[in-house]
Structures are given as structure tokens and as C-alpha cells.
Structure 1
Amino acid sequence: MSSYVISAPATPTLAVAGQDSRFPVRRVFCVGRNYGAHAREMGSDPEREPPFFFTKPADAVVPASGTVPYPPATDDLHHEVELVVALGSGGADIAPADAMALVWGYGVGLDLTRRDLQAQAKNTGRPWDMAKGFDASAPCSPLTPATTLGLAQDARIWLEVNGALRQEGKLGDMIWPIADVISHLSRLVRLEAGDLIYTGTPAGVAALSRGDRVRGGVDGVAQFALTIA
């Protein structure tokens, strides 16, 4: 048996709705600007831009419940509510027609963003890693197995802060549907079971403050409620 020179890190996991078993998280991919209105509010043209991706560490995934810490090194933390796709199998160069067979389940998560650090990185031509991939930057609800729900294109995705609606859209507003997202991503990296894909956010992203109460969800999939500590 192999031994390690330090203790092996724990595998990050997510709860599964209605089960004691948990979903192990391998990697976390995020799709940028996958809703037209959000792309426009961020200054891009959604008609011209192919999908692009960034990543977060697997251990940035935390439960979207209780308290989530306000991160250091920012004065401009933004919320981005997203449908999360959990893969139960993988592959490379996957055709869109075959992509949905890889999906194990769905959740709803937050892509938390240190927007001021992201703006600085963009202005200097540097990577955005520290704007997106910090500790606890990917809260996610428990996952629901795909076999137990029908994912409707008119399902509402939404987010409230302190009871006020901030983000709202429909899954059908995605520029690149889930099957296309999986297909495009599989041409860049080999996907595997345990990978999560955050599929983009509708318009209305804005700043969060310490003490804010955040609720969000995708109708028919999952909801979450948390407080920014």
C-alpha cells in the first residue's frame, strides 16, 4: 500500500437530497456569461462569444446553508446564482446528442466573485483566479438525481437578498444549453464522474454585505438559504 508524507486531504463532497450517501467532487468548471442579459451587463456581445470556462478548487464547494464567510481582500463581493450540473460519467469530444447521458444530477449554487479583484486583473491582463477561486466561493445546495426530476426550459432561476428580488430568469435563457456546454468543455479537457459545472447566471449580479440573508433557487430543482457572515 502507498503511503503519504503528509495526511491525504479529504475529498470534498456534496449532500444528496433525501439520501445519506454523498456526491464526491472532483473538479469545478464554471461557464462565463451564459445568459444574454448578464453578458450585456458585463459589457459583452452574447451573439458573438463562444462559451468560455474558468475553474474553482473542489474544496471551494461548501453547503449553501448556514453562514458563508465574507472573504478577505475585497470590498465588492458579488452574488451569481447558477444551476449546477453534476456529472456521473465522463469522456472527451462528446457530441451534444450524447452529453446529457453524463449528467447524474442537479443543484443550485452561487459563484461568489471578488469583483474588485476581477476588475483589477482584467485591467492588467492578469488571470482572475483569486477573484473566483477563493475559499468557500462555490456554495451549492444538495444535489437532486436527474432521474427524479424533469428539467424544464421555462424553470425560473432566481435570487433574493434580504427579501428583495435581485436576479431572475429562465433556464431556457441560456445562450449555450447544458448539452452544448458539456460538449464544448469536453473538447478542452476530459470530463470525469464527480465534475461539477456551474452553468452561468442571469442578469442582476450585485454586491453582498456582511449580514445579508441570501435565498435562491431553480424552481423544481432546489432552493437554498444562507447568511453572509
Structure 2
Amino acid sequence: SPNAFVQEGNPIVTPIGSQHLHQEVELGVVIGKTAKAVTRSEAMSYVGGYAVALDMTARDFQDEAKKGGAPWFLSKSFDTACPISKFIPKEEIEDPHSEELFCRINGVEKQRCKTNVMIFDIPTLIEYITRYVTLEEGDLLLTGTPAGVSRVLPGDCIEFGLTNRITCNFVVQ
């Protein structure tokens, strides 16, 4: 959902009715050209760049949806659910699988992990997704989160990024 994206300087707004908002830091892959039925060997040629993102989850909404057998859409696609860094051109990151993600809440480190331990690497994700979905220039793929997901509250400051490369700061409302 385009309204899910929020850039630095704007707040993360807790959805009405949610009491359990959680953060998940992830490497984002920005697609650089239309991709359909892409093979693993050519997948990286479809990458235009990267971003660091938070995949905010209204965990109480998600738990309720799970119990009712309903889609999780609202738990992950509410307005401001995806705080995102500035675009990082592909040329600035030689190997996206050797970066280090981090996330701190109110100065306390909650997540830190190398991107080489992702369950699926970027070529695998692109190959799999484009079997079923055409990706367009500018589409953003989130690659998964490391351990350390935790609850955030209104007033919390979330700092996240790639070590020695980019840092973002957002406040939760």
C-alpha cells in the first residue's frame, strides 16, 4: 500500500485500536526494471538499489486475524506501516549480503544481524516472486527480519539502518 511508506521526519502512527505495535528492521530491495519470470542467475540485474525499512506490525490485529482465519493485511499495511530510508543506489553496495542491519529503540539495541544469514538471498526471492507476480520499477521487496522484534509505544524513538552506511530515526505516535 503506497500510504504505508513513510520517510524520515514523519511519525509512525499507531493504528487506531492497536495496543501491540512491533518493529522489524529489514533490508529493502528496490526493483530497477520490470521483472517477470526472472532466473536466479539474472536476478541481480533487476535490482536498482536498496533501502532499509521497518516492517511495522500491529501484532494484536495479526493475532485476531490468525484466530479468525482472516488475512493479515491490516496488521502490516496500515498507513505509516513501512518507515523507509533514503534510496541507496545499487552501485553503492557491492554485496548486499555482507551488510549489517541494526535497530535501536530509545537507544537500546534490539536487533543487529548480518544480511548473509537471511533465510532467502535476494536472487532466490526475485526468482520465486517473479514466477507469480510481475515486479515493476520502484517496487520494494522486504527481505526478512532478524531476531529481536519488540513492542514499541507512543513516544518511542526508533533508530535503524545499515552499519557505517545509513541511519534513520522515527518517532512512534
Q: If the TM-score is normalised by the length of the shorter chain, which range does it land in? A: over 0.9
CA distance in 2, matches of 1:174, 1:146: 19
CA distance in 1, matches of 2:142, 2:105: 20
CA drift of 1:223 comes to 1.7
Show structure 1 runs of 5+ residues with no match.
1-56
Cross-structure match for 2:100: 156
Does the CA contact (< 8 Å) of 1:149 and 1:221 recur in 2? no
**Matching of residues 18-167 of structure 1 within 5 Å:** 57-167=1-111
CA drift of 1:172 comes to 0.4
Deviations 1:103-152 (A, max 9, x none): 11111011110001101111111101111110111110100110123235
CA distance in 2, matches of 1:93, 1:172: 24
Cross-structure match for 1:14: none
CA distance in 1, matches of 2:165, 2:128: 24
The amino acid across from 2:62 in the alignment is Q
Pairing 1:207–2:159 present:
no
Show structure 2 runs of 5+ residues with no match.
none
Does the CA contact (< 8 Å) of 1:64 and 1:109 recur in 2? no
Cross-structure match for 1:176: 120
Cross-structure match for 1:193: 137
TM-score, structure 2 normalization: 0.95
CA distance in 2, matches of 1:137, 1:89: 25
The amino acid across from 1:217 in the alignment is G
Describe the shift of the 1:152–1:191 C-alpha distance in structure 2 as closer, same or farther (beyond 3 A).
Answer: closer
CA drift of 1:70 comes to 2.1
Q: Which runs of 4+ in 1 moved over 3 A?
A: none
Pairing 1:227–2:171 present:
yes
CA drift of 1:153 comes to 2.9
Does the CA contact (< 8 Å) of 1:81 and 1:159 recur in 2? yes
**Partner SS, residue 224 of structure 1:** strand
TM-score, structure 1 normalization: 0.72
The amino acid across from 2:20 in the alignment is D
CA distance in 1, matches of 2:122, 2:42: 11
CA drift of 1:192 comes to 1.3
Structure of greater relative contact order (alpha carbons < 8 Å, 6+ residues apart): 2
The amino acid across from 2:43 in the alignment is A
Does the CA contact (< 8 Å) of 1:149 and 1:220 recur in 2? no
How many residues end up aligned between the 2 structures?
173
CA drift of 1:67 comes to 2.4
CA drift of 1:166 comes to 0.5
**Partner SS, residue 59 of structure 1:** helix
The amino acid across from 2:128 in the alignment is H
The amino acid across from 2:124 in the alignment is D
CA distance in 1, matches of 2:99, 2:35: 28
Does the CA contact (< 8 Å) of 2:3 and 2:78 recur in 1? no
CA drift of 1:95 comes to 0.5
